[in-house]
Chains A and B, each alone.
Chain A
Amino acid sequence: MSRKRTRDEVDCEGAKRGVWLVKVPKYLSDIWEANAGSDVGRLNISASNNGKTVVKLKNRQGLIMPDNMEGATAKGGSIPEEHSFIIGDIVNQTMVVLGEDKKGLNEDINIRTGSLSLEGRVVKRAECRPPDSLAYLKMKIGHIEKSGQPKRHIQTIDKAAVKYKPVTMHDEDIARMKQKKEGIKTVRMDKDVLRQNIFMAFEKHEYYRLQDLQQLMNQPASYVKEILQEIAVYNSQPPHKSMWNLKPEYRSYST
């Protein structure tokens, strides 16, 4: 079944698989994310006396708490140990889960869509409901209080902070620049090689500034200009002002 798929084709093999869609409170969701790669709890499906199935989720002991949970659990509140699942059917609509895998796209990750596959269709909808306990309420209160606090505080300082005058050019910068400049100046590339490189650059774009070319080639500006005068023309008119492009005899931008 491993036939070659085009980029926009969707792998539908998982379309038959049933999936539950579970609504999870934010705090629990955060905990789960913090504990990715391990068990988070046990789902207990049992029948109650009146014939209905009861689904309960029991947290695993020793779950890693995310950072934002500390304030919430400070005031005697705690994350509920057990959540009940309220299971319902999907009515009036069909829901399908699509997975998009961008593995192997590397640098194209922001340009292209990944390989697509259907992971299943949603057969049940569940809601993860916290128990009606005091500890839970306290935790929620802690949450609300914490979210109400401003992120920045005003603090009075007794001593004046040590300040430095702003400097445009630091010594290190100057030294680095100097080194860079000297490096450019000292090493002159073989003329043919440089010319070839410049031609290659012109293959990508038609117009270049001298400054850009010089930086690209990492060669002295005068040397680059010397070659440019051989093979390129300087534009002094607005559309591509103060840029170089190849002389017509060297140009072959085939469409």
Chain B
Amino acid sequence: MKVQMLSRRVMQSLLRLQGCSCPSNSRVLSTSRVVLKSEHDKIDDEMKKITEKLGKEFEQSLKDGKTEPEIDKKFMNFKQLSEQKAHERSHIFTWKTVLGTFVVGGSMLLALFYIRKVRVEEAEKQRKLTAGKARIGGDWELQNTDGKLEGSEQLKGNWLLLYFGFTHCPDICPDEIEKMVKVVEQLERDKNPVKILPIFISVDPARDTLKRVKEYCAEFSPKLRGYSGTKEQVNKVAKTFRVYHSEGPKTAPHDYIVDHTVIMYLIDPQGNFHDYYGQNRRAEKRVMAKNPGNSEFVVKVPELNDMKRFTVLKFNNSIKIDPTTWANPECDIRMEREENRVLTSGLAAVQDFGEGTEYGKAAREEARRKKLGRRANQYSIDKQPWRMKINEADGKEKKLHSIREAAGTHADYWLFLKNGEEFHAYKVDDWHGFVPAITHKTLDIDEAEEEFTKRNRVMNQFALRAQILDKMKQKEADEEEEQKKGRKSGLMIKDEHSSSGSEGDDEKDEDGEEKKKKKVKKGAKPRKDKRVKVENSDEVAKYESEDGEDEGREYDYMSDSGSDSDRDIPMEDKVEKALVGVAEEEGLKKLMESDDSSEDDEDDPEKKLLNRKDDDDKKRRIDIEERDSSGSDSEVDDLDKDKLDSVILMPKKGGIMDGGAGTSTGIKRPADDTPKGPEVKKVKEEKEEGLTEEMVRKLLRTKPYTTKELLTKIKARCGGELPKAEMVTKLAAILKAIEPQQFKQKQGRKDVLFFSLSNTI
């Protein structure tokens, strides 16, 4: 404490030092006054004194033995300081002053309240007084719903609650009338019931017939009495009650709204105006204004019904639906459950009756699955989401689908439905949130995948245009091709005939005629166009290089070259070409003739005899072999035939068929594709000439043959034209001429003679 005091004094003295510049402190102020009075030297003296005094004090404190003073915990505790100061200040607010203010304030308030009360009462009185002076209300007469004239005279003795409105009123009138009815009901239910007659007066006599008013009133309460009348009558009544009413803008002759005052008038049994109520006062309040009472309802839980389920359907505001309009009979709402049986059970929907079904298959499947330890999910139709279709009265259609929501576990939801004076409570079983159904087509997963691969592709518009053009041209080209195909095949055959020369000149003439016809046909079409088309077909192939396309192109090329030649080469040239063909044929003929000559040689009787002698034993052997294995060897023959067909003959078919004279394969090949009458005939001719030396040579070169095999081979080649004996003799002769290598080999038990020719020769 000592130290603290000391420090404070130091601070004070320091402040005194700064006195002239810091006038806020009172002590400093006093010193400053002294300073003002005295001279400057006086100040100096004082300064000295102070410094001496301070020095002394400091030394004394040092002498006390404590070089460093103990630091108090509360040293420099500003909070405590401020508290101390606050305490010092607080003595201004004593209990007395507090009491005084309360007394004064309270009395003032009381006075205020009293004045206000008086004023309100006065105002009320004033209001009632002015009303009582018949400025509002008075006698009135109108037609009641039964068509009788009725008015204030007849209704005297009752409290009346009057309301002016019109039956077409969209919102306010029904609300107000409801309120009115409520008020009347509540007042009747009270301990000391007050009977009030609710009265509805129409201000729209043009539209509100008595019948309509009656129906309208019956909707709200049987107690509600409706009144209407002629325009004059209504206007008169409205005037007596100072009710403003006027028809609003007409959109149609019978579609307008009447502006009118929304005020209820309370009339006392004497027929005088008692009070009025505006729109903003609520029914309860209006009742409570008379007598504050509570309403009580019984809450009842009806018998549980397993058959009935309650679902709350939730619609987001963005969907914009209005359930109040749904009651309109023009509005049509359909709802059905989504069919998800296939999805949940993981099985395809199986038909469970009729054709192709097995009895008890499902049960067996289920048993099998159970055996394997799987259990199918139970499918419940009641848990499936809804599909909803709303056809509103104005023709709009909305499609929604729901998402089933999970119910909470800690609380249940109950629906309170008002039923007379009771609330009926039903438990909510399900919740469904509705969202708009997707009506546009969506991609399935595969389609989406495909689209995704195209994501970085840049479209080349030129290429696209070209592609489209090509497609169109291709179509035309295809048609052209078909035409050409037919023509070409015809041409080829005719070339063949002309070159073969077997049928004679008359056919050739015919060909020529046909060619001419073709030419004419071609002439009809512009040449240039044709070329362009060919180019285009190439381009098409460039764009779309499919397998089939290439074939088409090749075909095209061939035919075009043909047609080109047809087109470009004049008639004389063509004739020459035909001549060339003939020449080739002649060469071929020569060869054939040589073969024939050789055959002729063989046919020479002398030679034949010689051959016979030589081959006698051989022939015999053959005969025996044939007899031995007539049945069984046929299989071998077949095999051989197959083999030959497949392995050897197939690739060289043409060559062998030609019987060694097949040099003109180039010309003949196309003919193979289209065997026609005369051509077949020619082949037959060849077959007749088939048994030649050359042919046998060829056969023997391929592999060693027994005589029997050779015979069957030749037989197959030449058909059944030659009689067997003749064939054998012929073969014998040929073999003699060829002089093949002979060797014996064991085949089974027997030794069989094989003939062969080495390829080197």
| A positions within 8 Å CB-CB of B | 6-10, 12-26, 29, 32-33, 35-47, 53, 57, 92-103, 110-114, 116, 118-122, 126, 201, 204-209, 212-213, 216, 240, 243, 253, 255
A134 to B466, CA, bound (A): 88
Q: Is B353 an interface residue (CB 8 A)?
A: yes
Contact between B358 and A24 (Cβ–Cβ < 8 Å)?
no
B-side contacts of A41, CB under 8 Å: 298-299
Contact between B301 and A45 (Cβ–Cβ < 8 Å)?
no
Contact between A42 and B296 (Cβ–Cβ < 8 Å)?
yes
A103 to B414, CA, bound (A): 22
- Per-position contact with A for B692-736: 1 when CB-CB < 8 Å, else 0? 000000000000000000000000000000000000000000000
A-side contacts of B319, CB under 8 Å: 94
Contact between B294 and A45 (Cβ–Cβ < 8 Å)?
yes
Contact between A119 and B417 (Cβ–Cβ < 8 Å)?
yes
Looking across the interface, which residue of chain B has its beta carbon closest to that of A91?
B317
B-side contacts of A39, CB under 8 Å: 298-300
Contact between A94 and B323 (Cβ–Cβ < 8 Å)?
yes
The 8 closest A-B pairs by CB, nearest first: A253-B355, A29-B412, A20-B416, A46-B294, A15-B326, A12-B326, A10-B333, A207-B358
A-side contacts of B331, CB under 8 Å: 12
A253 to B353, CA, bound (A): 11
Contact between B410 and A32 (Cβ–Cβ < 8 Å)?
no
Contact between A13 and B425 (Cβ–Cβ < 8 Å)?
no
Q: Is B14 an interface residue (CB 8 A)?
A: no
Q: Is B312 an interface residue (CB 8 A)?
A: yes
Looking across the interface, which residue of chain A has its beta carbon closest to that of B293?
A46
Contact between A204 and B353 (Cβ–Cβ < 8 Å)?
yes
Kindly identify which residue among A24, A201, A253 contacts B413, using a CB–CB cutoff of 8 Å.
A24
Contact between A8 and B411 (Cβ–Cβ < 8 Å)?
no
Q: Is B526 an interface residue (CB 8 A)?
A: no
The segment out of B210-218, B302-310, B534-542, B660-668 that lies at the interface is: B302-310
B-side contacts of A101, CB under 8 Å: 307-308
A92 to B318, CA, bound (A): 8
Contact between B415 and A21 (Cβ–Cβ < 8 Å)?
yes
Q: Is B427 an interface residue (CB 8 A)?
A: yes
Contact between B425 and A22 (Cβ–Cβ < 8 Å)?
yes
A19 to B360, CA, bound (A): 49
Q: Is B140 an interface residue (CB 8 A)?
A: no
Contact between B315 and A8 (Cβ–Cβ < 8 Å)?
no
A-side contacts of B360, CB under 8 Å: 209, 212
Looking across the interface, which residue of chain A has its beta carbon closest to that of B431?
A95
Q: Is B335 an interface residue (CB 8 A)?
A: yes
Contact between B417 and A47 (Cβ–Cβ < 8 Å)?
no
14 A-B pairs within 8 Å (CB atoms) are namely A19-B416, A20-B415, A20-B423, A26-B411, A32-B425, A36-B303, A37-B301, A38-B301, A39-B298, A40-B300, A57-B299, A119-B426, A207-B358, A209-B360
B-side contacts of A240, CB under 8 Å: 358
Contact between A22 and B333 (Cβ–Cβ < 8 Å)?
no
* Smallest CB separation, A96 vs chain B (Å): 5
Looking across the interface, which residue of chain B has its beta carbon closest to that of A207?
B358
* Smallest CB separation, A171 vs chain B (Å): 27
A-side contacts of B409, CB under 8 Å: 26
Known interface pairs A37-B302, A47-B292; A19-B315 also in contact (CB < 8 Å): no
B-side contacts of A23, CB under 8 Å: 411-413
A97 to B326, CA, bound (A): 13
Contact between B335 and A25 (Cβ–Cβ < 8 Å)?
no
B-side contacts of A116, CB under 8 Å: 335
Contact between B317 and A94 (Cβ–Cβ < 8 Å)?
yes
Kindly identify which residue among B309, B332, B358, B428 contacts A100, using a CB–CB cutoff of 8 Å.
B309
Known contacts A32-B301, A39-B299, A103-B308; 14 additional CB pairs below 8 A are A16-B327, A18-B418, A29-B411, A33-B304, A40-B301, A41-B298, A41-B299, A44-B294, A94-B315, A96-B312, A113-B336, A119-B426, A204-B359, A209-B359
Question: Secondary structure at chain A's binding surface: helix, strand, loop or mixed?
Answer: strand
Q: Is B96 an interface residue (CB 8 A)?
A: no
Contact between A100 and B311 (Cβ–Cβ < 8 Å)?
yes
A15 to B325, CA, bound (A): 8
Q: Is B682 an interface residue (CB 8 A)?
A: no
Known interface pairs A23-B413, A36-B302; A97-B359 also in contact (CB < 8 Å): no
A103 to B306, CA, bound (A): 9
Contact between B312 and A95 (Cβ–Cβ < 8 Å)?
yes
* Smallest CB separation, A123 vs chain B (Å): 10
Known interface pairs A22-B414, A23-B411, A100-B309; A8-B355 also in contact (CB < 8 Å): no
B-side contacts of A207, CB under 8 Å: 356-359
Known interface pairs A32-B414, A113-B336, A243-B358; A97-B312 also in contact (CB < 8 Å): yes
Kindly identify which residue among B295, B307, B337, B359 contacts A103, using a CB–CB cutoff of 8 Å.
B307
Known interface pairs A17-B417, A205-B359; A36-B301 also in contact (CB < 8 Å): yes
Contact between B304 and A112 (Cβ–Cβ < 8 Å)?
no
* Smallest CB separation, B86 vs chain A (Å): 38
Contact between B334 and A29 (Cβ–Cβ < 8 Å)?
no
A-side contacts of B309, CB under 8 Å: 99-100, 102, 114
Contact between B333 and A40 (Cβ–Cβ < 8 Å)?
no
* Smallest CB separation, B397 vs chain A (Å): 15
* Smallest CB separation, B287 vs chain A (Å): 10
Contact between A98 and B316 (Cβ–Cβ < 8 Å)?
no
B-side contacts of A47, CB under 8 Å: 284-285, 288, 292
* Smallest CB separation, B127 vs chain A (Å): 23
B residues 320-368 in Cβ contact with A at 8 Å: 321-324, 326-328, 331-337, 353-360
Kindly identify which residue among A6, A15, A93 contacts B327, using a CB–CB cutoff of 8 Å.
A15
Contact between A33 and B425 (Cβ–Cβ < 8 Å)?
no
A-side contacts of B304, CB under 8 Å: 33, 36-37
A45 to B297, CA, bound (A): 8
A100 to B309, CA, bound (A): 5
A126 to B415, CA, bound (A): 10
A103 to B308, CA, bound (A): 8
* Smallest CB separation, B41 vs chain A (Å): 79
Known interface pairs A94-B315, A97-B311; A29-B335 also in contact (CB < 8 Å): no
A121 to B423, CA, bound (A): 15
Contact between A25 and B299 (Cβ–Cβ < 8 Å)?
no
Contact between B381 and A205 (Cβ–Cβ < 8 Å)?
no
Known interface pairs A9-B334, A94-B321, A101-B308; A21-B413 also in contact (CB < 8 Å): yes
* Smallest CB separation, A163 vs chain B (Å): 29
Contact between B310 and A119 (Cβ–Cβ < 8 Å)?
yes
Kindly identify which residue among A42, A208, A253 contacts B299, using a CB–CB cutoff of 8 Å.
A42
Q: Is B314 an interface residue (CB 8 A)?
A: yes
A114 to B335, CA, bound (A): 11
Q: Is B313 an interface residue (CB 8 A)?
A: yes
Q: Is B632 an interface residue (CB 8 A)?
A: no
A20 to B418, CA, bound (A): 9
Contact between A253 and B354 (Cβ–Cβ < 8 Å)?
yes
* Smallest CB separation, A95 vs chain B (Å): 5
Known interface pairs A40-B425, A121-B324; A255-B355 also in contact (CB < 8 Å): yes
Looking across the interface, which residue of chain B has its beta carbon closest to that of A251?
B355
Contact between B327 and A113 (Cβ–Cβ < 8 Å)?
no
Contact between A98 and B313 (Cβ–Cβ < 8 Å)?
yes
Contact between B359 and A201 (Cβ–Cβ < 8 Å)?
yes
Looking across the interface, which residue of chain A has its beta carbon closest to that of B356?
A206
Q: Is B26 an interface residue (CB 8 A)?
A: no
* Smallest CB separation, A152 vs chain B (Å): 22
A-side contacts of B315, CB under 8 Å: 93-96
B-side contacts of A19, CB under 8 Å: 415-417
* Smallest CB separation, B219 vs chain A (Å): 12
Looking across the interface, which residue of chain A has its beta carbon closest to that of B320?
A94
Known interface pairs A206-B355, A255-B355; A29-B414 also in contact (CB < 8 Å): yes
A-side contacts of B295, CB under 8 Å: 44-46
Contact between A92 and B298 (Cβ–Cβ < 8 Å)?
no
A110 to B306, CA, bound (A): 13
Looking across the interface, which residue of chain A has its beta carbon closest to that of B412?
A29
Contact between B297 and A95 (Cβ–Cβ < 8 Å)?
no
Known interface pairs A12-B326, A22-B416, A32-B414; A92-B316 also in contact (CB < 8 Å): yes
Q: Is B97 an interface residue (CB 8 A)?
A: no
A-side contacts of B357, CB under 8 Å: 204-207
Looking across the interface, which residue of chain B has its beta carbon closest to that of A122?
B312
